[in-house]
Amino acid sequence: MIEILEYSFMQRALLAALLVGVAAPAVGIFLVQRRQAIMGDGIGHVALTGVALGFLLSANPVWMAVAVSSLGAIGMELIRWYGKARGDLALAMLFYGGMAGGVLIINLAPGGSNANLTTYLFGSITTVATADIVAIVLLSAFVLAVSLGLRRQLFAVCQDEEFARVTGLPVRALNLLLAVTAAVTVTVAMRVVGLLLVSALMVIPVAAAQQVTRGFAATLGASVGLGVLVTLSGTTASYYIDVPPGASIVVLAIVVFGVVTALAAPLARRRARAVARAEREGTLEESAGAAGDAVRVR
Amino acid sequence: MDAEPSPHAGSPEQSPEHGGRGTPEAPPVISLRGAHAALGAKPVLRGVDLTVGAGEVVALLGANGSGKSTTVKAVLGQVALTSGELALFETPLARFREWRRLGYVPQRSTAAAGVPATVREVVQAGRLARSQFRPLRKADREAVHEALALVGLADRAGDPVEALSGGQHQRVLIARALASRPELLVMDEPLAGVDLGSQEVLAEALRDQVRRGHSVLLVLHELGPLAPLIDRAVVLRDGRVERVTRPEQLHDPTCHHPDEKTGDAPSIETGLLS
């Protein structure tokens, strides 16, 4: 465990993994709350076009991916507002287009081939360059500032959007900010977990944490803890068994999810009983009340 | 009744007794004139007039599809008017920014959010109407606690809302609206699926609102146990106001005839709250 810290590429990879482990669940929790867990996936597809454009234009793929995936996320948000009936189809087309565009463009780039995309699709610990680390640190700082600093406001918007509008919060601006933050998170995470699996890291720690937590703040804290646990141990494992880190991180996350689910099963049963009891008491009171009313109204 | 209203900064100065209650001279908190609105291509409101004065409790009644909920959403600025005018606290909607003066209790939905939330967290969301982007202060936490106490859920603050019964969930939504100490409380079907204890809590919240000289607009399917607390009932039918009346003159809002004599309708006596 200690000797891998002597390699500077591993230091960079672990730092990136740590940041991703914090940032991905911190944003993902709002998407899960809004039942848009799949949105990170879509942004990942669109980011691929950005990466390929970076190659084609000889620009930094990370920043290019930030730009393109942010535009894609804003597009998805606009579709959510205006495209009520056919919104899901429009989203699906955006996803397909992002993927196809990425493959198309990378093959147009001089000397480019699908092989260039592989490290972005599944992550790679050896390719986190020093320039990337600067971008990753800056972008993570932005992501954490938004997702933690505005957690109450974003919670309100994702919990009950109509109510949030009536409180006078700038709901549209907050939604756009959340979409851009999710896009930035995807780009930050693509070096470590890869674009195809980034959504898993935004969703699985939250899904695991919420089985044992009672509130939103507790879920946020626990999912960030689980996120860091799986990204650090998954990155370390990928060094020893020589697999892309995205794969080991996500498999680990699913294992953690399974373990938490198994441990939480008795808790879930107890809660279900408590709810059933509360409902029963409520209904009894209600029917007693209704009967009472009926007698008096006559 | 027994719970003492706490002093509230910025409330309109009115006698907590009957002074000005429902008097036409009091400046209206809601003034809706000739409201037309459509959902998709279907016209839902076809010229609704609605005034709620300071300190007044007004009920919107009518059959399903009569436009009650749409009227409420129009008042909240959530459904755009195709024609007509809306002023809140004497400010035209386009210029209205003081949303903290409003509290909204939406129709309770059974769809749970994807992530657990405690009762306190949900009620705190209502306080954002006042705190907006600044951090929560002591006064905010006190207001949240007070709202929870008013609905009788202070001891459940740390529980997940998923563990509550339907009536208790409704109380959480009421507390969320009250957390900003609104001068106008707007409620959409607050009695739907609510047990007797929660009906009593709702009635107490209405009384508390009136004691502070504040106003209430609520959508009801029937007046039921809230009848004694309501100053005026506005009956909608097919997107128009069919009748405005005192609640005791109304026997059944869903099946009476427009030109029926109103005087001889039997008064509602639920016996529960009167």
Q: What does B29-59 look like in DSSP terms, one character per residue? A: EEEEEEEEEEETTEEEEEEEEEEEETT-EEE
Q: Tell whether the model's pLDDT for residue A177 goes beyond 90.
A: yes
Work out the pLDDT band at A76, boundaries 50, 70, 90.
Answer: confident
CB contact under 8 Å between B125 and A160, yes or no, is: yes
| pLDDT at residue B253 in the model | 47
Report how far residue B230's alpha carbon sits from residue B247's, in angstroms, rounded to the nearest whole number. 7
Token pair recorded at residue A259: 């373990």
The shortest CB-CB distance from A214 to any of B159, B165, B196 is to: B159
- Of A251-260, B126-135, B188-197, B246-255, the one with minimum mean pLDDT is B246-255
Mean per-residue pLDDT, B258-269: 43
- Smallest Cα distance from A219 to chain B, Å: 8
Q: What are phi and psi of B36, to 5 degrees?
A: -115, 140
Give the pLDDT confidence of A207-244 residue by residue, as tens digits.
999 999 999 999 999 999 999 999 999 999 999 999 99
Residue B75, chain A, CB below 8 Å: the answer is no
- Of A42-51, A160-169, B218-227, the one with minimum mean pLDDT is B218-227
Token pair recorded at residue A266: 């008795």
Domain count, chain A: 1
Q: Tell whether the model's pLDDT for residue B25 goes beyond 70.
A: no
Report how far residue A138's alpha carbon sits from residue A143's, in angstroms, rounded to the nearest whole number. 9
- Smallest Cα distance from B81 to chain A, Å: 16
In B, minimum Cα distance to A207 occurs at B115
| pLDDT at residue B239 in the model | 93
Q: Tell whether the model's pLDDT for residue B2 goes beyond 60.
A: no
CB contact under 8 Å between A168 and B133, yes or no, is: no
Q: Give the mutation candidate from A166, A172, A269, A283 for the B interface (greatest B CB count, under 10 A).
A: A166
- Smallest Cα distance from B197 to chain A, Å: 7
Work out the pLDDT band at B110, boundaries 50, 70, 90.
Answer: low
Q: Tell whether the model's pLDDT for residue A75 goes beyond 80.
A: yes
- Which of these, A173, A135, A136, A169, lies nearest to A153 by C-alpha position? A169
The shortest CB-CB distance from A216 to any of B117, B194, B269 is to: B117
CATH of the domain at A267: 1.10.3470.10
Mean per-residue pLDDT, A114-140: 86
Mean per-residue pLDDT, A97-110: 92
| pLDDT at residue A297 in the model | 35
| Strands B215-219, B57-61: pairing kind | parallel
- Mean residue pLDDT of chain A comes to 87
| pLDDT at residue B256 in the model | 45
Which residue range(s) make up the domain with A47?
Answer: 3-297
Q: Tell whether the model's pLDDT for residue A51 goes beyond 60.
A: yes
CA distances from A194 to A29, A59, A95, A199, A202 (A): 19, 19, 16, 9, 12
- Most confident segment among A237-241, A252-256, B196-200, B263-267: A252-256
Q: When comparing pLDDT for B109 and B18, which is higher?
A: B109
CB contact under 8 Å between A35 and B114, yes or no, is: yes
Mean per-residue pLDDT, B197-204: 89
Give B159's contacts in chain A (Cβ within 8 Å).
Answer: 214
Q: When comparing pLDDT for A111 and A223, which is higher?
A: A223
Report how far residue B202's alpha carbon sits from residue A153's, in angstroms, rounded to the nearest whole number. 27
Q: Tell whether the model's pLDDT for residue A285 goes beyond 70.
A: no
| pLDDT at residue A127 in the model | 75
Work out the pLDDT band at A85, boundaries 50, 70, 90.
Answer: low
In B, minimum Cα distance to A167 occurs at B129
| B28-110+182-249 CATH, one of 3.30.70.1150, 3.40.50.11540, 3.40.50.300, 2.30.30.40 | 3.40.50.300
In A, minimum Cα distance to B180 occurs at A167
CB contact under 8 Å between B128 and A153, yes or no, is: yes
Mean per-residue pLDDT, B113-124: 92
Work out the pLDDT band at A281, boundaries 50, 70, 90.
Answer: low
Q: What percent of chain B is modeled with pLDDT above 90?
A: 61
| Strands B28-39, B184-188: pairing kind | unpaired
- Smallest Cα distance from A190 to chain B, Å: 25
Q: Tell whether the model's pLDDT for residue B68 goes beyond 60.
A: yes
Report how far residue A5's alpha carbon sits from residue B210's, in angstroms, rounded to the nearest whole number. 67
- Of A39-43, A232-236, B24-28, the one with minimum mean pLDDT is B24-28
Mean per-residue pLDDT, B138-152: 95
* CB contact residues (below 8 A), chain B span 216-235, against chain A: 224-225
Q: Tell whether the model's pLDDT for residue B76 goes beyond 80.
A: yes
In B, minimum Cα distance to A298 occurs at B269
Give A33's contacts in chain B (Cβ within 8 Å).
Answer: 113-115
Q: Where are the domains of chain B?
A: 28-110+182-249
Q: What are phi and psi of B203, to 5 degrees?
A: -60, -40
Identity at A115, one-letter amino acid code: A
Residue B112, chain A, CB below 8 Å: the answer is no
Mean per-residue pLDDT, B199-204: 89
- Of A65-74, A75-84, A185-194, the one with minimum mean pLDDT is A75-84
- Smallest Cα distance from A181 to chain B, Å: 18
Mean per-residue pLDDT, A176-196: 92
* CB contact residues (below 8 A), chain B span 25-64, against chain A: none
| Strands B102-105, B184-188: pairing kind | parallel
- Smallest Cα distance from A264 to chain B, Å: 15
Q: Tell whether the model's pLDDT for residue B217 goes beyond 50.
A: yes
CB contact under 8 Å between A219 and B115, yes or no, is: yes
Work out the pLDDT band at A84, boundaries 50, 70, 90.
Answer: low
Q: What is the ipTM of this complex?
A: 0.86
The shortest CB-CB distance from B160 to any of A158, A214, A297 is to: A214
Mean per-residue pLDDT, A58-80: 90
